[in-house]
Chain A
């Protein structure tokens, strides 16, 4: 009888190596993100400051000296764009970090322990969700003043309920699975089950939501700055630049469009990279 010679070692090795084509879109998004991050990090090397005015060059078109021209007050548009990237990225990354830390922890604890604690957490999150976000932002900036730190904190706190809900939903389905009971049967403590068994599972949807949160926060920061609730005026952010560009929309539309396009591309890149990374790092890959 003919037998099939199947080397088990070969099978084991083949399963580990995983090749997946990332596609040009992913690399384009990565390139754009690197460019924005590098520019923001090296903003200090620019020949012009974001607040240096040249009244003779107001709304001047792009030139060899000012690559993207000057804004309504004669400030270098490129310098403002790059310094604005610093603000937008700081707020855009730090606020969701607050949300994912506090919201994720609360959601996992609520989903794992259930009971009265869960009721309390879900109830207080509903209160936070019901509170109008713009009014909260207005109230906080009115009392504590406009600053990047305050803006980050407000946007971070506003993001907590959403992260809590994602973490709780994921934990609820996982906490009843047999591997959690198996861990308990092996004598694992609650802390161990939460950190070693549940967290690696919950972090996947949470991280995907985090990248979405970064994109949304950049947009919200832009909207708040556009309304004058964001960073205080001489500091530039993409949102405030669009707001300022609105005044000269007929004469120099690029003053509003350049920061808008920059924001659009950055947000798109975050979403694209987030989706690809999630698909790539998820070891379940449709199994289960």
Chain B
């Protein structure tokens, strides 16, 4: 990894009290993101991706218990007082959410939302903020930006709204952008555009990005490193090319197999991962993927494999029976 470490997540665990017992949404996760780097976090619904991103932002629900350390730019976010954290969130950290229908305020115009953010954080005066807003909207590929400023979110399409949300997130030149499933609510044709836009702005502003998705195809070619999450834990972590070339964790393999192939014959059954993720309120003894894993043996049901380093230094996985090198697919 090049450059200094911007964000370092150390042993972060999130516990949510529920009526059915304690729910461990994130289980001792370690991650690092370098300045200007992109980390992809991949996993199916409910594996703790969003909770992890909220933990980084310190925006967890009030009842949630967070432990571990989140070091951002040399500061521990967990020990930061409210005022300092607030300032940091606006200027250095930004988020793009999954659903652009609800992440914009429905009763304020696009202009109001953008201009107020700029005035608040960069202390620009009204005219300058307006000019900046127009530039930002143009930068994220919105035609006729000056007219858009006067429109309400419901007057824009989903893709346009997501572009506006990205413009607001980029407005304060953050050092780290967390994109939480930014394309899940959008049409497939718009998805690629939004992802390319994010990648382009990231390169231009030399900003670090965490791209959270459930689609391995989204992180391929757009991230420097990928962390695969399952049941609240990181189960495999590697530089993107290495992961696609030489995946070791059976879960990663199963997830990649579940992506529909464009060259497959019509009506080819999609290989799905059988079974369901374990109930997070009742943690199982062994590897959490063992009930669904086709390589599982007795040992997998007894002991929990730790995230260990493979033969390569930066490739980590948590599995007793890693897939042989030949089984991988090229990215």
A and B: bona fide binding partners: yes
| Interface status of A65 (Cβ within 8 A of chain B) | no
Residue contact B89 to A187, C-beta cutoff 8 Å? yes
A12–B146 Cα distance when bound, in Å, is: 10
CB distance from B209 to the nearest CB of A (A): 15
A187–B153 Cα distance when bound, in Å, is: 21
Q: Which residues of B lie under 8 Å from residue A192 when comparing CB positions?
A: 120
Q: Which residue of B lies closest to A286 (CB)?
A: B154
Residue contact A201 to B105, C-beta cutoff 8 Å? yes
| Interface status of A16 (Cβ within 8 A of chain B) | yes
Query: Which of B102, B116, B147 is the one whose CB lies under 8 Å from A196?
Result: B116
Q: Can you name 19 A-B residue pairings with CB atoms under 8 Å?
A: A8-B143, A12-B151, A16-B150, A178-B103, A181-B59, A181-B95, A181-B103, A184-B89, A185-B89, A186-B90, A186-B121, A186-B168, A187-B87, A187-B121, A192-B120, A204-B107, A283-B107, A284-B106, A284-B152
The 8 tightest CB contacts between A and B, nearest first, are A187-B90, A287-B154, A187-B89, A178-B103, A12-B147, A8-B143, A185-B95, A178-B102
A95–B169 Cα distance when bound, in Å, is: 43
Q: Which A positions have Cβ atoms within 8 angstroms of B?
A: 8-9, 12-13, 15-16, 177-179, 181-189, 192, 196-197, 200-201, 204, 283-285, 287-288
Name which of B90, B93, B105 has the most chain A CB atoms within 10 A of its CB: B105
CB distance from A40 to the nearest CB of B (A): 33
A73–B159 Cα distance when bound, in Å, is: 73
Name which of A189, A196, A283 has the most chain B CB atoms within 10 A of its CB: A283
Q: Which residues of A lie under 8 Å from residue B94 when comparing CB positions?
A: 185-186
Given known A182-B97, A186-B117, A284-B154, contact A13–B105 (CB-CB < 8 A): no
Query: Which of A13, A178, A283, A284 is the one whose CB lies under 8 Å from B147?
Result: A13
Q: Which B positions have Cβ atoms within 8 angstroms of A?
A: 57, 59, 86-91, 93-95, 97-99, 101-108, 116-117, 120-121, 143-144, 147-148, 150-155, 165, 168-169, 172
A288–B101 Cα distance when bound, in Å, is: 7
Q: Which residue of A lies closest to B172 (CB)?
A: A186
Q: Which residues of B lie under 8 Å from residue A184 when comparing CB positions?
A: 59, 89
Residue contact B88 to A187, C-beta cutoff 8 Å? yes
Q: Which residues of A lie under 8 Å from residue B121 when comparing CB positions?
A: 186-187
Q: Which residues of B lie under 8 Å from residue A177 when comparing CB positions?
A: 102
A237–B52 Cα distance when bound, in Å, is: 64
Query: Which of A15, A179, A189, A201 is the one whose CB lies under 8 Å from B151?
Result: A15
Residue contact B117 to A284, C-beta cutoff 8 Å? no
A148–B8 Cα distance when bound, in Å, is: 66
CB distance from A139 to the nearest CB of B (A): 41
Given known A12-B151, A177-B102, A182-B95, contact A189–B86 (CB-CB < 8 A): yes
Q: Which residues of A lie under 8 Å from residue B143 when comparing CB positions?
A: 8-9, 12
A182–B172 Cα distance when bound, in Å, is: 14
Q: Which residues of A lie under 8 Å from residue B88 when comparing CB positions?
A: 187
A16–B153 Cα distance when bound, in Å, is: 12
Query: Which of B57, B91, B104 is the one whose CB lies under 8 Å from A179?
Result: B104
CB distance from B41 to the nearest CB of A (A): 17
Name which of A13, A183, A187 has the most chain B CB atoms within 10 A of its CB: A187
Query: Which of A181, A187, A284 is the one whose CB lies under 8 Å from B97?
Result: A181
Residue contact B59 to A185, C-beta cutoff 8 Å? yes
A151–B148 Cα distance when bound, in Å, is: 49
Name which of A12, A184, A186, A283 has the most chain B CB atoms within 10 A of its CB: A186
A125–B217 Cα distance when bound, in Å, is: 54
CB distance from B163 to the nearest CB of A (A): 13
Residue contact B106 to A287, C-beta cutoff 8 Å? yes
